[in-house]
Amino acid sequence: MEKPEDENDMEELRKKWDPFLLKPVIDEEEKPTKFLRSLNYLVSTVVGLLVFAFGFFSKASLLLMITVTGSDSSTVLNKPFCRLILGCMLVVPNVLTFVKSLWKAIFKTSEMPSRPAIAFVCLVDVLVAGGTAVLIVIAMPHFDILNNTMMLSGICILPAAFQVAHQCLPMGFKLWTFIASLLSVFLVLVGYITFFIHSINSLSPGIMVYTGIAIACTLLVSLNWWENFTTILPGKHLKSIQGSLQKSRNMTYLLSSCVRIIVTGAVVGGYTYATEDGLFFTMPYRLDITLSLFVIQVVASALCRWFSVIASKMHVFRRCFAFPMVLMSPAVLAFFIIVFSDRYNHFQQDIDCSNCSLSLYCQQSSSYIGHGVKQAGELFRDISNNLCNKTGMADQQRVSLVLIGVSSLSFWAGLVLSTIYVWLTKFQRIERTSKLFVRRLYEAAFIDQSMLLNVRLCQTQPEETLSTSESREHVTIYLCATMWHETFDEMLKILTSLFRLDKYQPKQQSRRNKMSFEAHIVFDDAFEGKQRKLNRYAVNLVEVIQEVYRIFMEEESSIFRKDYEMPRQKMVRTPYGGRLCYSLPRGNDLYVHFKDTSKIRQKKRWSQIMYMYYLLGWKLTKKYFDNIENGDLKTLEERLLKEKHNTYVLALDGDTDFQPSALMLLVDRLRMYPQVGAACGRIHPTGIGPMVWYQKFEYAVGHWLQKTAEHVFGCVLCSPGCFSLFRGSALMDDNVIRRYTTKATEAAHYVQYDQGEDRWLCTLLLQQGWRVEYNAASDAYTNSPQEFKEFYNQRRRWGPSTLANTLDILNMGRQIARRNPSISRPYIVYQIISMASSILSPASICLMIAGAFRYVFEVDPNGSLCLAVLPAVLYIVVCYTTKAEIQIAVAAILSVLYAFLMLATIISIIGDIISEQTFFTPTAIFLFSMTTMYTVTAVLHPQEFYILIYGLLYLITVPSAYLLLNIYAMVNMNNVSWGTREKQTPEISKPSSTSSKRVQDTKMWGFSCCSFGVHVSKNSKVSDASETQQLIEVKR
What's the whole-number mean pLDDT along residues 159-171? 78
- What's the mean pLDDT in 888-897? 95
Within 13 A of 789's CA, how many CA atoms are on the CB side?
13
For the chain, how many residues are written?
1036
E-strand stretches of 456-567? 475-483, 515-523, 527-528, 533-534
For residues 525 and 536, is the Cβ–Cβ distance under 8 A? no
Predicted local confidence at residue 981, as pLDDT: 61
**Residue 427 pLDDT > 80, yes or no?**
no
Q: What is the DSSP string of 980-1008?
A: SSSSPPPPPPPP-SSSS----SEEEEE-S
Q: What is the mean pLDDT of residues 452-456?
A: 89
Residue 1001: is its pLDDT beyond 50?
Answer: no
- pLDDT(985) > 70: no
Decide: 1007 and 572 in contact? Cβ < 8 Å: yes
Q: What is the pLDDT of residue 852?
A: 86
- Residue 399 confidence (pLDDT): 80
Which pLDDT band holds residue 1025 (cuts at 50, 70, 90)?
very low
Average pLDDT of span 361-376:
73
* Whether the Cβ atoms of residue 244 and residue 115 lie closer than 8 Å to each other: no
Q: How far apart are CA 37 and CA 44, in angstroms?
A: 11
Average pLDDT of 477-504? Answer: 91
Per-chain mean pLDDT for the chain: 83
Q: Cα(533)–Cα(530) distance, rounded to whole angstroms?
A: 8
Q: What is the mean pLDDT of residues 100-129?
A: 86
Q: With 0-12 CB in 10 A as exposed, 13-18 as middle and 19+ as buried, what is 270? A: exposed
Task: Measure the CA–CA gap between 191 and 7, rounded to whole angstroms.
Answer: 93
CB-side neighbour CA atoms (13 Å) of 669: 26
21-25, 243-247, 414-418, 852-856, range with the lowest pLDDT: 21-25
In this prediction, residues 69-81 reach a mean pLDDT of 82
Torsion of the alpha carbons at 39, 40, 43 and 44, rounded to the nearest 10: -150
- Model confidence at 795: pLDDT above 50: yes
Going by C-alpha positions, the residue among 238, 234, 235 that lies closest to residue 223 is 238
pLDDT exceeds 60 at position 1015: no
Higher pLDDT, 495 or 227: 495
pLDDT of amino acid 505: 87
Bridge partners of 520? 480, 591
- Portion of the chain with pLDDT greater than 70, in percent: 85
Q: What is the largest CA-CA distance in the chain?
A: 117
pLDDT tier at 280, thresholds 50, 70, 90: low
Which pLDDT band, with edges at 50, 70 and 90, does 135 fall under? very high
Give the pLDDT of residue 21: 60
pLDDT for 327 equals 93
Q: Choose the weakest-confidence range: 124-138, 473-487, 810-824, 1006-1020.
A: 1006-1020
Give backbone dihedrals phi and psi of 672, rounded to 5 degrees, phi first.
-80, -30
Query: 811-851: per-residue pLDDT in tens?
Result: 998 889 888 988 888 889 999 999 999 899 999 999 889 88
Position 168 scores a pLDDT of 75
What's the mean pLDDT in 377-389?
81
Per-residue pLDDT at 856: 83
Strand order in the sheet with 577-583: 570-574, 577-583, 589-595, 515-523, 475-483, 647-653, 723-727, 676-686, 771-783, 657-658
Pairing verdict, β 527-528 and 515-523:
unpaired
Q: Kindly report the number of other CB atoms within 10 A of residue 394's CB atom.
A: 18
Q: What is the pLDDT of residues 42-70, one digit of tens each?
A: 989 999 999 999 999 999 999 999 998 88
- Region 994-1014: mean pLDDT is 33
User: What is the model's pLDDT at position 429?
Assistant: 63
- Give mean pLDDT, residues 278-283: 59
Q: Is the distance from CB of 253 to CB of 440 less than 8 angstroms?
A: yes
* Lowest mean pLDDT segment, chosen from 408-412, 548-552, 677-681: 548-552
Please tell me what DSSP assigns to residue 592. Answer: E
What CA–CA distances, in Å, run from 193 to 187, 189, 770, 862, 891? 10, 6, 56, 86, 84
Residue 1033 above 60 pLDDT?
no
Q: Which residue has the higher pLDDT, 520 or 82?
A: 520
Tell me the HSE value of 876 on the side-chain side, using a 13 A CA sphere: 9
